Amino acid sequence: MLNRVSSYNKYSALLIKATYKNYFILAPKPVFILLRALLLLCAFQVGAQESLKSRGLNMQQRDGQQRNGQQKYGSIVRFEINKKIEFSDGFSVVLVSFTHKKPYKNGPTKATAYLLVSLLGVSEKISLSIRGTQGEGEMKMSYDRLKWHDYNFYLKNFTYNDSVEVLVEKN
């Protein structure tokens, strides 16, 4: 986004070029740092909006879609316990329950979320787990991924006895 075009040591100022809109700015170094941060933040926001537009959604449509229960494939979906989430093709998922393995000191841990998936009258219980080592931080955690028929599930976040966040994709 930003290219330093040249620097002026005499005034401790920098001439910068923001390639997004081709602005040229002459500013002291502390101001340059703030301007650079603001321009990068603006570019990130514009990029996020353009990404949503390229998928045919704006922020209001996306939020309304999540409130109505209709979800799109390829997005991270938050499943709360006993709340049914439906997709446009009749595929639905309900988070049913959680279990965990009682860990030994410095031993492996495992917590599992059970989901009831349904498509055209066919239902099956699947499980997604998070694994780690007791006493270790998030760096040692691993998250499950699972394929069920034409659907892929990637566990992204796990809050025991509350919810899970899963990336759901359709092949």
Give the C-alpha separation, 21 to 84, whole Å: 45
* Mean pLDDT value across residues 38-43: 51
| pLDDT of 66 strictly over 60 | no
Burial label for 89, CB within 10 Å (0-12, 13-18, 19+), is: exposed
* Mean pLDDT value across residues 8-20: 46
* Mean pLDDT value across residues 161-168: 94
Over residues 113-159, the pLDDT tens digits come to 999 999 988 999 999 999 888 775 554 678 889 999 889 999 999 99
Burial label for 152, CB within 10 Å (0-12, 13-18, 19+), is: middle
Burial label for 7, CB within 10 Å (0-12, 13-18, 19+), is: middle
Higher-confidence position of 13 and 34: 34
| pLDDT of 44 strictly over 60 | no
* Mean pLDDT value across residues 75-83: 93
> So what's the pLDDT on residue 71?
76
Higher-confidence position of 23 and 75: 75
Higher-confidence position of 7 and 92: 92
Higher-confidence position of 38 and 14: 38
pLDDT-derived band at 60, boundaries 50, 70, 90: very low
Give the C-alpha separation, 55 to 112, whole Å: 32
Higher-confidence position of 69 and 103: 103
